[in-house]
Structure 1
Amino acid sequence: MSAPNSDYDPVEVTPLRADEVERMRDAALEAIAAADSVEALKQVKIDHVGDRSPLALANREIGALPPQARKEVGQRVGQARGAVNKALAERTAQVEAVEFERRLAEEAVDVTVPVDMEPVGARHPLTTIQDHVADIFVAMGWEIAEGPEVEAEWLNFDALNLGPDHPARTMMDTFWVAPAEAAMVLRTHTSPVQARTMLTRQPPIYIACPGRVFRTDEPDATHAPVFHQVEGLAIDEGLSMAHLKGTLDHLATAIYGEGTTTRFRPSYFPFTEPSAEVDLLCYVCHNDPAQVADCPTCRGEGWVEWGGCGVVNPRVLIACGVDPERYSGFAFGMGLDRTITSRYDIADLRDLWDGDIRFTEPFGIGL
């Protein structure tokens, strides 16, 4: 059995020679000093401090030396590795401080600049005009009445003098609710609310009925299958077309401003007799002879179509349990969608329901 090699000379192991250890240390220190970023230092650490670095491999050779040589060589390699680790730590702190200062400069934020943390919301113009119209009627002493959007056929048609064979019934493009024997529809106007009120209350009655209605119209710039109306009903002793005219003039002034008046043109509606179409004095040119010919709003007419109205037909009063010999009344209705598009010169009705917040934001929280 052979004895340990006590004559092993560490000088003959190249990685452990003093000059070679110094060379590896100096190469590592030079690479550390040249590194100018955290990423570069990471690579230097792998190359000169990692498990496969020259100094780490030299350290492994120490175990093969005889005991009497290990101490001196171990101190030599350990001092070199310690110098490299110290230099790496110091250089890393320097580079990180420089990069931190650079980020502070590049990403600086002026915290004194005022900023809106949340965008200011806006109510939809349809909601706002509906509330505005309701406020006008409440200020007149009227009440706001509401009813279901899925309505009985009898209330939507028959109670309003639109019997099964009435020719005007075909004018209503109706959504019918299945099954057919249920005789239910999506209401084509808010007039059923008026019928419900007359059936459950005794005159005098003064109500306004804003709400959503449905007809099978193809959507385009001026039509929609879902739109909004406001209808009014007044039932009392001695009411006439004069009271109707005064009410609509006040409503027009409250919505469109001072100087706005209405005119009536003879028309036909099954639930009123006599009936009239309501026109507004053009709120742009005011039928001024000097401006009306070139007015894009009324197109030279001086008046803008607004809605329909009339004295409540006695047949409707009888169907709803009101004595036509004692009471009379008037009713009217106009589209709220059209009111908005005309008031704000909106060319396409579809802008109201497209959901683009850029359209609603200018309206703010009120009209």
Structure 2
Amino acid sequence: MSQEGIPQLDGYSEDALDRAFAELEKEVDASALEATKRGTSDAVEEFRLLWLGRKQGRLKQVSEAWLKSAPVEARKSIGLRFNALKPRIESWLVWEGWTSTQPTLDAEAIDVTLPGTHRALGAEHPLIKTMHEMVAVFQRMGYSVGVGPEVETDYYNFESLNFPPGHPARDTQDTLVVANQDRKPLRDRLLMRTHTSPVQIRTMEQQPPPVRIVIRGKVHRNDAADATHSPIFHQIEGLCVDTNITFSDLKGTLDHAMKEFFGSSVKTRFFPSFFPFTEPSADVQISCPFCGGKGCRKCKYSGWIELLGCGMVDPAVFGFVQGKQPAYDPKKISGFAFGMGVDRIAMMKYGISDISLLYSGDARFLEQFA
């Protein structure tokens, strides 16, 4: 739009001024829409200069032409209308529709000869990856995955697993308790679970035998943090209950699982142990998969690594379940259970010397496993 041809006022009455400024508003809108059709940054700038340019802006020219010839008593009315017209022009300049029909601004043209932006892909945390691999081994043997709450009652975490109040074995699983529980009966008090074993009880209460589940999850114990201990860690446990389940079934299951996870050359051996919820109980060692049993730093030069605990389910545990599931009669069924720490396996597999690195959230450490 040319800046020439400044319109002339046909009077200074309120009606005449309203008509004159209405015509100016139409000119502003028409020139704005014309620039919108072009949809470029240059069009926006031309519109700004046309109306708000400091030297040759149309608003400045019209203002000077009308005010110079206006009588003193009309200048206030003209000035007020000009002050209202300027925000209308500025509102067009910040309108988001300027480039709605233009996919790319001229100033943001893409150089297709440059390499594309590389977006790094995420990867599983070494703990999560190890846990998934271990669980997958048992799923291929027909086990389903069991889940349960991390905040448990004393009953499910201890009592129903044959840890009666005052039992010495409770000292080895000193845990973090929820505050303000003193008025509740001991069995109803809430705490952070010390193992994933409560899920075994909950599962047996909900379904009759046969049961084959593997349980993964986070557990908590009141342990002092050092290179190999943490108050938060992860466990994988398993439970198998059916008729005629024997210790031989337990040994065969764990031997197969260790071979599938660590390699077919790995051997297993069992030593007597004690757990309140299994009888008999055993600790399981595997031949060192890193040195083939010859002795190295990871196995402390013994050729063997103690990896997990296991045993046949104590009949007393079935007794806690029978009230809800009478089918768990220890005279008719039997079962075995096992459990292992995921953190220790992950540290051993990936050569991690400090367990705190697994919980640090340091991207420099984690990106090594991407």
- Contact 1:279–1:306 at 8 Å: present in 2 too? yes
C-alpha distance after superposition, 1:110-156 (max 9, x if no partner): 96454543222222111122222222222111100000000011010
Could you tell me whether the CA contact under 8 Å between 1:262 and 1:278 is conserved in 2?
yes
Alignment gaps of 5+ in structure 1: 1-108
Q: Does 1:310 align with 2:316?
A: no
Give the structure 2 partner of residue 155 of structure 1: 156
State the partner residue of 1:257.
Answer: 263
Matched, 1:338 2:344: yes
Match of 1:236 in 2: 242
* Whole-angstrom distance in 2 between the partners of 1:311 and 1:122: 38
What SS does structure 2 have at the residue aligned with 1:273? strand
CA-to-partner distance for each residue in 1:296-341, whole Å, 9 max, x for gaps? Answer: 1112211001011000001011111211001110000000000100
Q: Which residue of 1 aligns with 2:329?
A: 323
Distance, in Å, in 2 between the alignment partners of 1:231 and 1:129 is 14
Q: Which residue of 1 aligns with 2:176?
A: 175
Tell me if the contact between 1:123 and 1:360 (Cα under 8 Å) persists in the aligned partners: no
- Distance change in 2, residues 1:114/1:263 (3 Å): farther
Q: Relative to structure 1, is the Cα distance of residues 212 and 111 closer, same or farther in structure 2, using a 3 angstrom cutoff?
A: same
Q: How many residues align?
A: 251
Partner of 2:288: 282
Whichever residue aligns with residue 307 of structure 1, its letter is L
Secondary structure of residue in 2 paired with 1:342 = helix
Q: TM-score under structure 2 normalisation?
A: 0.65
Equivalents in 2 of 1:161, 1:318: separation in Å? 10
5+ unaligned residues in a row in structure 2: which ranges? 1-109, 323-327
Per the alignment, residue 3 of structure 1 pairs with: none
RMSD: 1.6
Q: 1:208 Cα deviation (Å)?
A: 0.3
Answer whether contact 1:307 1:332 (CA < 8 A) is retained.
yes
Radius of gyration: which is bigger? 1
The aligned residue for residue 34 of structure 1 is: none
1:212 is aligned with what amino acid? K
Tell me the amino acid that sits aligned with residue 201 of structure 2: A
TM-score by length of 1: 0.66
Q: Residue 235 of structure 1: CA displacement?
A: 0.3
User: Which SS does the other structure have where 1:128 is aligned?
Assistant: helix
Alignment of 1:190 with 2:196, yes or no, is yes
Q: Give yes or no for contact 1:151–1:186 (8 Å, CA) kept in 2.
A: yes
Once superposed, which parts of structure 1, at least 4 consecutive aligned residues long, lie more than 6 Å away? none
Equivalent of 1:208 in 209, 214, 234 = 214
Deviation at 1:346, TM superposition (A): 0.9
Q: Which amino acid aligns with 2:148?
A: G
- Structure 1 match to 2:103: none
